[in-house]
């Protein structure tokens, strides 16, 4: 009876994953997509536990308790730490795939056919490199490791040599399964490549890296599905891998980077050398000045960035939005595809603060409105508002699509200091005649603006 039910549970889980991915692609249906995805994963776990191969649940129960002890605190991390949590999730999932592959290899060493060995080798290769790469990404996002790019001579050649050698070892092991000595070599090479893949990448490039690691983790799970003969794993892994890969391409386009540059971990080093030390004049203002300007505006566009996330200012930004709307001021939020530290980071934070979905406008659409905008208020966004990407052919970010805030009548930028952003590039916006710099913590500054507008 149970044997007949398990395939239907797997089918229901697979359908749930497909629907979840479809619904999560649009903001209004994203919550539904998450709930359906969670339900699908619950079905997948139940189906796995009902498989007749399981004869003892004690170790599974212990693993469930251990995983819950780790997972619940991770889920309680603040919304501003979503990128770090995502990187950790990738590392755990990839480690699980690599360990399952390792166990399968040593349990059946010498009796694995070439096709299965190829899938197993790719599973362990992708799982191992994603594990260390994701841990490194977590370290950079959490500022446990230097966020600046770390480069050295012949770095690209070393990275390519490591990954090519690992792939060759996988192919040799598939042809000659008795060469078991190659397996630990594959693991060591993959772990090393994962570390070296991340260290030359700066903090500004993390959105692309996270989506790429998501793809690697999914492909590793799909390969594990072929090894175990589990159709649901193949479906889920393929969905994860393909969506992550497509998202990586979208992110690289949004950052004006070639995809091959991302694959070989070479990007970030140019930006690290591009910081300018030239002293340039700029104009500053106080929160009270900002409040006076906002009260006289008819149309305001707010551009959130990582500075807003770090300061956890999204809720007080909602207060500012409410106040301005009550004054009959049209307020919209401009969302850049790579603002923050992961795709959709700003959308998540603003949704948490209950900003209406229809007020979150994508870059391509909002840019047409900025020339008719009275005030553009930039809160912690740096590189995604730099006019050099549009005007300076010598800039490392030249050609990168940006939010054209410089075309607004008045630009106000809330920032801690004049220091450049994660790319290390000075922002020409800060020195323009229509720009006012408001220095301080984003949350504190917006709170002062809210009090001044509200007359408190």
* Cα 356 from Cα 174, distance rounded (Å): 54
Q: Inter-axis angle of helices 182-198 and 114-141, to 10 degrees?
A: 30
How far apart CA 238 and CA 180 sit, in angstroms, is 28
383 as an active site residue: the answer is yes
Q: Please compute, for residue 450, the number of CA atoms within 13 A of its CA located in the half-sphere on the CB side.
A: 18
| Spatial CA neighbour of 105 closest among 135, 86, 125 | 125
CA 34, chain centre distance (Å)? 17
Catalytic residue, candidates 205, 383, 404, 426: 383
CA-wise closest residue to 264 among 161, 171, 343: 161
Q: Three-state secondary structure along the chain?
A: CHHHHHHHHHHHHHHHHHHHHHHCCCHHHHHHHHHHHHHHHHHHHHHHHCCCCCCCCHHHHHHHHHHHHHHHHHHCCCHHHHHHHHHHHHHHHHHHHHHHHHHHHHHCCCCCCHHHHHHHHHHHHHHHHHHHHHHHHHHHHCCCCCCCCCCCCCHHHHHHHHHHHHHHHHHHHHHCCCCCCHHHHHHHHHHHHHHHHHCCCCHHHHHHHHHHHHHHHHHHHHHHHHHHCCHHHHHHHHHHHHHHHHHHHHHHHHCCCCHHHHHCCCCCHHHHCCCCCCCCCCCECCHHHHHHHHHCCCEEEEEECHHHHHHCCHHHHHHHHHHHHHCCCEEEEEECCCCCCCCCHHHHHHHHCCCCHHHEEEHHHHCCCHHHCCEEEEECCCHHHCCHHHHCCCCCCCCCCCCCHHHCCEEEEEECCCCCCCCCCCCHHHHCCCEEEEECCHHHHHHHHHHHHHCC
Closest CA to 132 of 71, 74, 193: 193
- Tokens for 30, please give them: 């994203």
Catalytic residues: 383
């Amino acid at each position: 009876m149970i044997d007949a039910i398990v395939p239907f549970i797997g089918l229901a889980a697979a359908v749930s994953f497909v629907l979840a991915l479809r619904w999560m692609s649009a903001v209004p249906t994203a919550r539904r997509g998450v709930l359906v995805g969670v339900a699908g994963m619950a079905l997948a776990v139940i189906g796995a536990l009902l498989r007749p191969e399981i004869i003892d649940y004690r170790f599974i129960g212990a693993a469930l308790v251990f995983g819950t002890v780790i997972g619940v605190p991770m889920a309680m991390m603040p919304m501003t730490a979503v990128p770090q949590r995502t990187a950790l999730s990738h590392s755990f999932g990839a480690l699980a795939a690599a360990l399952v592959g390792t166990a399968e290899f040593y349990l059946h060493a010498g009796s694995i056919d070439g096709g299965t060995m190829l899938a197993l080798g790719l599973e362990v290769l992708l799982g191992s490199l994603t594990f260390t790469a994701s841990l490194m990404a977590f370290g950079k996002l959490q500022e446990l490791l230097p966020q600046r790019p770390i480069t050295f001579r012949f770095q690209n050649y070393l990275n390519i040599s490591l990954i090519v050698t690992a792939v060759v070892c996988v192919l040799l092991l598939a042809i000659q399964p008795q060469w078991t000595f190659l397996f630990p070599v594959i693991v060591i090479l993959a772990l090393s490549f994962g570390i070296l893949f991340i260290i030359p990448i700066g903090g500004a490039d993390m959105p692309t890296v996270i989506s790429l690691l998501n793809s690697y983790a999914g492909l590793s799970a799909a390969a594990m599905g072929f090894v175990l003969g589990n159709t649901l794993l193949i479906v889920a892994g393929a969905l994860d891998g393909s969506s992550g890969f497509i998202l990586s391409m979208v992110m690289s386009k949004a950052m004006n980077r070639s995809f091959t540059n991302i694959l070989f971990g070479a990007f970030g080093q140019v930006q690290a050398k591009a910081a300018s030390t030239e002293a340039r004049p700029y104009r500053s203002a106080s929160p009270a000045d900002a409040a006076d300007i906002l009260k006289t505006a008819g149309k305001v566009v707010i551009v959130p960035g990582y500075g807003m996330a770090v300061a956890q200012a999204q809720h007080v930004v909602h207060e500012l939005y409410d106040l301005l709307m009550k004054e009959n001021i049209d307020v919209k939020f401009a969302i850049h595809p790579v603002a923050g530290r992961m795709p959709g980071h700003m959308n998540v934070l603003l949704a948490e603060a209950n900003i209406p979905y229809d007020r979150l406008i994508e870059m391509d659409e909002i840019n047409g409105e900025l020339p008719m905008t009275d005030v553009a208020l930039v809160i912690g966004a740096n590189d995604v508002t730099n006019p050099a990407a549009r005007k300076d052919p010598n800039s490392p970010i030249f050609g990168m699509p940006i939010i054209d805030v410089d075309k607004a009548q008045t630009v106000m930028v809330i920032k801690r200091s004049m220091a450049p952003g994660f790319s290390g590039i000075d922002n020409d916006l800060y020195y323009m005649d229509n720009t006012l710099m408001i220095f301080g913590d984003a949350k504190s500054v917006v709170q002062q603006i809210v009090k001044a507008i509200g007359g408190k």
